[in-house]
Amino acid sequence: MERLLAAELILELADQGIRISDWDDLDDDQRKHLDELFEREIFPVLTPLAVDPTHPFPYISNLSLNLAVTVRDSKRSMERFARVKVPPLLPRFLNAAGSETFVPVEQVIAAHLDSLFPGMTIVSSHPFRVTRSADQAIEEDEADDLLKAVEELLQTRHRASKMVRLEVDETMPEPVLDLLMQEMGIGHDQVYAHTGLLALAGLTVLTSLARPDLLHRPWQPTTQPALTQFEPGHTIFDRIKQQDILVHLPYESFGSSVGAFIAAAARDPHVVAIKQTLYRTGVQDDPAAGGEQSIVKSLTAAARSGKQVVVLVELRARFDEEANILWARLLEEAGVHVVYGVAGLKTHAKVALVVRREGDGLRRYAHIGTGNYNPKTARLYEDLGLLTADEAIGADLTDLFNMLTGFGHEPEFRCLLVAPAHLRGALIARIRAQADRGAKGRITLKLNHIADREIMDELYAASGAGAHVDLIVRGICSLVPGIRGMSENITVRSIIGRYLEHSRVFRFGDGGKAEYFIGSADLMERNLSGRVEVLVPIKDRRLRTRLEELLRVCMADDRLAWQLDGETWEKIPTMSGINAHVRFQALAHGRSQGALPDPDTAADPAEVVIVAAGGIVTKEAKTGTEVLVVHRPRYGDWTFPKGKLDEDETLAEAALREVLEETGYECDLGPEIGMVEYRDRTGGRKFVHYFGMSVTSGSFTANREVDKAKWLTPDEAAERLTYARDRALLRSWISSV
């Protein structure tokens, strides 16, 4: 990350006029502006804390940014240590004189330390921060009140949580580092020295700049016709009763689907009960907490109107405990029955049940999803949710909520797969069924994490029996694909892009007999044995086709996808230009216009693309490494040698051939450096894969494609290159070698 930031991102931002600058590189006007800002906004909130026999080493809070300062007292001929905490209320980066130049706040503070330590000589200052463990156990068997126990835990976490990491600037002097380690009681294996900035999350300030040319194209989530086109007098319940509805966030709207479902239940005079789980709710000042999107607001309104409302709030959702306690108290004050789950288990399931009086009886409506009931994350996380009036699912959820709110063992469910009692066994049975099919067996799983040993052993066995196993894993993957005789039939890929992949999809089999499930569970020991999780079968053939469409797009993606090769993640080469997130936007737009799912065409390229390959060619000269750049008379530009792939040619073969044809140089092939994308002069999309190369023989002869070739130092080459994309690629390559 540090190399990427320093060698590519900061330099590419500078090419666009946005600069992350050091204090020493500012001009006089910029420094004057920040001097005034410091005196007015920063100095009054700083507190220097000395460390000496009368001032013990201060407590360092989790993830706070600090300066370790050494000062010299000339009167007493001694050096002293002090800590200056950067208050979290300060911006991480400060704007210099209204420009698009930003300076780390700790550097501005460091430049004014003489104001904090008058009469002292500033010897050195270096940033550092610590990470504290959030893992603190609650002895539930000994706790009479779980809510009170969690509140007490939160009070002690800030002061008593164990320190697990110390991050420092690599230039920090050894005596200062030794002092920090001694006072914090940590060893060298817990120290991480950085060459660049700390607390990089603060870079999100750049996304607020008025630079739409550098941001993702805005996306307005769509709404399916099934959730908008109601007949007079009909409601969302009438539509759900007619057909199951599958919602794909953030491509489709949370507010007009899940939010509208709960809001309608709160308003509807025929609804008699609402039961729901809440795992991560979000903070109360979230702008999305108002209006119809607010799940909590709907639930409190329902309770005040006399409906039976039961909410299971998971108080132990890590880092959301305080928010969840606030929401729990608010719900209780409104008359909601709030419960806190099953002793010894976290309730991670995302389920809601609405009971509605219709005619002479009651009908149950349900939502089961993969993501939290949180309107803020619903704009950033990719998730799925099922709205259904299926009687078996409704009956299963009734039994589940009775188990969660009362006493009793986990019942036998009709169709839901529920952890911890039944889910593991149900998954193993389905994996073995596909293993029994041999080479005809098919398993596709889309997950956040997979690390459960028993499940992985079953997948290895299925692969060994000939079954094909495709995994799409966003996070932790402890399974190793491609091991001969063990996992050669397993592929693992990960999609990393604009949205966080969060949905869990399970497919066993293929064709019309395939089983599909969605739900909250990952394949981790904690999910299968230590949490209440729910997977729901997708029964509607139309919705199974939707899931098949989703899986095929994920498997066809070559813009955002990475593939696990043994124990190494490698970027999948871009050949067709399919970006899953862009494709899902297009599919959602199509659904809003009434289009039906079609897995056979969903992964087709949206337009014709040109795939090319080339090389950054280097040689060693007396003055150091030199880079070859070429001039193309047809375009009047300076670039690297490259060209389109011939039929059945690999990227590496094309790169070597093009370099030879355009420059006359024979080369040894090095690693693939990266890929650049742009639209050529005809408007077509072009993807060029570049490899590092070193010259072995040959000489340049001018030709129709290239009339000039020059060997330049990397800095000279960067100056000569016409395109910013080429300069960025060169910087990345040079920094890596």
pLDDT digits (tens, 9 = 90+) for 190-224: 999 998 899 998 998 888 888 888 899 899 999 99
Highest mean pLDDT out of 77-86, 333-342, 485-494: 485-494
CB 413 within 8 A of CB 422: yes
- How high is the pLDDT of residue 160? 56
Both 542 and 459 in one domain: the answer is yes
- What is the band of 129 on the pLDDT scale with cuts at 50, 70, 90? very high
Both 240 and 204 in one domain: the answer is no
| 694 burial type by CB count under 10 A (0-12 exposed, 13-18 middle, 19+ buried) | middle
In the chain, the amino acid numbered 3 is R
Residue showing tokens 């694909």:
481
Distances in Å between the alpha carbon of 694 and those of 640, 658, 703, 727?
14, 14, 21, 19
Condensed to tens digits (0 to 9), the pLDDT of residues 50-77 reads 888 778 888 888 899 999 999 998 777 7
- How high is the pLDDT of residue 162? 81
Both 248 and 291 in one domain: the answer is yes
- In whole numbers, what is the pLDDT of the chain averaged over residues? 89
Q: Indicate if 348 belongs to the active site.
A: yes
- How high is the pLDDT of residue 639? 97
Of 532 and 315, more confident? 532
Domain membership of residue 216 (yes or no) is no
- How high is the pLDDT of residue 12? 86
In the chain, the amino acid numbered 132 is R
Assign residue 482 the CATH number of its domain.
3.30.870.10
- What is the band of 324 on the pLDDT scale with cuts at 50, 70, 90? low
Both 485 and 399 in one domain: the answer is no
Both 685 and 649 in one domain: the answer is yes
3-class secondary-structure state, position 55:
strand
Q: How many separate domains does the chain show?
A: 4
Condensed to tens digits (0 to 9), the pLDDT of residues 448-493 reads 999 999 999 999 999 999 999 999 999 999 999 999 999 999 999 9
Q: By C-alpha distance, which of 288, 432, 414, 273 is closest to 353?
A: 273
3-class secondary-structure state, position 75:
coil
Domain membership of residue 411 (yes or no) is no
Both 314 and 383 in one domain: the answer is yes
- How high is the pLDDT of residue 541? 95
Tell which of 384, 405, 426 closes a domain. 405
The C-alpha atoms of residue 685 and residue 677 are separated, in whole angstroms, by: 7
Condensed to tens digits (0 to 9), the pLDDT of residues 581-636 reads 999 999 999 999 888 888 988 888 777 788 999 999 999 998 899 999 999 999 99
Both 187 and 43 in one domain: the answer is yes
- Confidence check: pLDDT of 142 > 50: no
Residues across the chain: 737
- Confidence check: pLDDT of 699 > 70: yes
The C-alpha atoms of residue 140 and residue 158 are separated, in whole angstroms, by: 21
Domain membership of residue 523 (yes or no) is yes
- Confidence check: pLDDT of 288 > 70: no
Distances in Å between the alpha carbon of 12 and those of 94, 268, 435, 737?
20, 54, 49, 19
Domain membership of residue 669 (yes or no) is yes
Both 345 and 482 in one domain: the answer is no
Of 422 and 410, more confident? 422
- What is the band of 685 on the pLDDT scale with cuts at 50, 70, 90? confident
Domain membership of residue 218 (yes or no) is no
Q: Report percent pLDDT > 90 for the chain.
A: 68
Q: Spot the catalytic one: 126, 348, 367, 689.
A: 348
* Mean pLDDT value of segment 688-716: 95
Both 189 and 338 in one domain: the answer is no
Tell which of 548, 582, 602 closes a domain. 602
- Confidence check: pLDDT of 289 > 90: no
- How high is the pLDDT of residue 74? 77
Condensed to tens digits (0 to 9), the pLDDT of residues 1-20 reads 777 787 788 888 888 899 99
Distances in Å between the alpha carbon of 263 and those of 297, 380, 432?
8, 22, 42
- H-assigned helices in 193-307: 236-242, 258-267, 295-304
Of 387 and 293, more confident? 387
Both 552 and 519 in one domain: the answer is yes
Assign residue 165 the CATH number of its domain.
3.30.1840.10
Condensed to tens digits (0 to 9), the pLDDT of residues 364-418 reads 999 999 999 988 889 999 999 999 999 999 999 999 999 998 877 778 999 999 9
- Confidence check: pLDDT of 293 > 50: no
Domain membership of residue 705 (yes or no) is yes
Comparing 137-141, 265-269, 384-388, the range with the smallest average pLDDT is: 137-141
Tell which of 602, 623, 642 closes a domain. 602
- Confidence check: pLDDT of 729 > 80: yes
- How high is the pLDDT of residue 156? 52
- What is the band of 316 on the pLDDT scale with cuts at 50, 70, 90? low
Domain membership of residue 563 (yes or no) is yes
Both 188 and 257 in one domain: the answer is no
- Indicate the pTM of the whole model: 0.86
Q: Report percent pLDDT > 70 for the chain.
A: 93
The C-alpha atoms of residue 593 and residue 285 are separated, in whole angstroms, by: 35
Assign residue 717 the CATH number of its domain.
3.90.79.10
- How high is the pLDDT of residue 135? 61
Q: What's the domain range around 82?
A: 18-144+161-211
Domain membership of residue 650 (yes or no) is yes
Both 510 and 626 in one domain: the answer is no
- Confidence check: pLDDT of 557 > 50: yes
- Confidence check: pLDDT of 522 > 60: yes
